[in-house]
Amino acid sequence: MSKAYMGARLKRLREDRGLTQAALARKLDLSPSYLNQLERNQRPLTVAVLVRLSSVFGIDVQMFSEEDEGRLLADLREALGESGVGDGVSLSELKDLVSSMPLVGRAVVTLHQRVRAQAERLEALALSLGTPLDGAAPSALPHEQVRDFFYQHHNHIPALDEAAEALYASGVLTLEDREGGLERLLRTEHGVTTRLLGEAELGPGVTRHYDPERRDLALSRRLGAGQRMFQMATQLAFLAHDSLLTRLTAEPGLAPPDARALARIGLAAYFAGAVVLPYGPFLAAAEACRYDIEVLGETFGVGFETVCHRLSTLQRPGARGVPFFFVRVDRAGNMSKRQSATDFHFSRVGGSCPLWVVYEAFATPGRTLTQVARMPDGRGYLWVARTITHRHGGFGALEKTFAIGLGCDLRHAPRLVYARGLDLADPEAATPIGAGCKVCERSGCPQRAFPPIGRRVQADERQSRADPYAVA
């Protein structure tokens, strides 16, 4: 563990429990002077102290994780940069704020998100002829609220993992017969009959249709075994865990009905992934094969995207996998999925970085690519990327092609088979990427598409540069 100075969080934990420094020192079997030094960031928080904190208070040591600080730091840099007020704020000052006053930092990020959502809404209304600018602007669009919901939960929903594991613990499901077990469970416990139908009967592009009156679940014949299991488990979530889905979506950040409806679907999909890829066996298999996505897909009978998505959810206290960032993008750079168990994120404004290996994947369809990348703040990441294609319909039907990216902090890279042959220690070997041109402070990038927000462009008619937007 690297030296971690978490005095503000330790002090907040003590104050939340109404303890004096002397009282907390006694509980942790520390001297009052040593605890005082910890709270004032004069001494780093050690593993031994973390273990005592966890034992005495039953807390998740993740609250003292540097990854949480990195996540907030990235959000703050984006907020200040996009608002045009971050030019005079140094990285060291932001780190001090994140370390000493994280609640203030989160408040700044929340305020910025609300202002941005209002500005985007007003701009959209202004472009729509005849639409009056009345009423309060929503905090965010429904799909953005759902994305933020999973982001805030580190893409880990313990209650759904536990509900899925209970099916195996009770013997209702076995790894050897998941599909048959799900079909029997739907039939015996919920009176639902599962059938396979062609597109002519289901309708164009439909992969699952449930008729509640007839208790009939129709699945597309085009689905593979893993996809059929996933769709049956998704329907099981709505039938067996409706009250749990309702409780999980009763958060203030999911106030509009549309947002809660989308969140229910997202949570049902999470449950389906937890059923098809149960936490314990899947994590054990991932560790055994060093997170080889293809091997895991063959072992559990699912596709590349499903494996990557599940890998980004393995953050159970006491049994954590590598904290991954999972993303799905199309050729135009649109991110249709973005889930994070780590602090990495791309900007919501101005697209993402063209130097990112996920976009290179489109040039080599079906081939798995790797990249060691470094962000402007110096943090390094290992990325794995590959394209996937979904086909629905007959001759002439459009197919969907996406690039899937799975990334982790460079310190976790040695645990991955994809680090084989890569020079992880040489900073010059890493590809310099950014969170998006509009918020990227990196200078001299020939791929820059926009000048950084809040920075004045230095126009010089006497010379021409590779960097199209040199800043003053």
- The CA distance from 424 to 413, in Å, is 8
- The CA distance from 438 to 121, in Å, is 20
Which residue type sits at 123? Answer: E
Question: Strand pairing of 431-432 and 369-374?
Answer: parallel
Task: Note the pLDDT of residue 69.
Answer: 67
Residue 371, sorted as left (phi over 0), alpha (psi -120 to 50) or beta, turns out to be: beta
**Token pair for 29:** 């079997």
Per-residue pLDDT of the chain (472 residues; tens, 9 = 90+): 445 666 777 787 788 788 888 888 888 888 888 888 888 877 877 878 877 877 777 765 555 555 566 777 777 877 776 666 666 677 777 777 777 677 787 888 888 877 777 766 665 555 444 454 454 444 567 888 888 888 888 889 999 999 999 999 999 999 999 999 999 999 999 999 999 999 889 988 899 999 999 999 999 999 999 999 999 999 999 999 999 999 999 988 887 889 999 999 999 999 999 999 999 999 999 999 999 999 999 999 999 999 999 999 999 988 999 999 999 999 888 888 888 776 665 555 445 788 899 999 999 999 999 999 998 878 899 999 999 998 776 676 778 899 999 999 999 999 999 999 998 988 888 999 887 777 777 777 888 877 776 677 777 778 777 777 777 6
Task: Note the pLDDT of residue 372.
Answer: 95
Task: Note the pLDDT of residue 106.
Answer: 80
**Token pair for 247:** 């409780």
254 Cα distance to chain centroid: 17
Cβ count near 293 (within 10 Å): 24
Q: Which residues pair with 384 in a beta bridge?
A: 370, 406
- The CA distance from 466 to 469, in Å, is 9
- The CA distance from 56 to 312, in Å, is 30
Burial group, residue 373, by CB count within 10 angstroms (0-12, 13-18, 19+): buried
Q: Give the contacts of 410 (CB within 8 A, at least 6 positions apart).
A: 372, 379, 380, 381, 382, 424
Task: Note the pLDDT of residue 169.
Answer: 96
Task: Note the pLDDT of residue 127.
Answer: 46
**Token pair for 212:** 């509640």
- The CA distance from 282 to 270, in Å, is 14
- The CA distance from 35 to 254, in Å, is 40
Which residue type sits at 55? Answer: S
Task: Note the pLDDT of residue 446.
Answer: 80
Kindly report, residue by residue over 294-347, the tens digit of the pLDDT.
999 999 999 999 999 999 999 998 899 999 999 999 988 888 888 877 666 555
Helix (H, G, I), strand (E, B) or coil at 84: coil
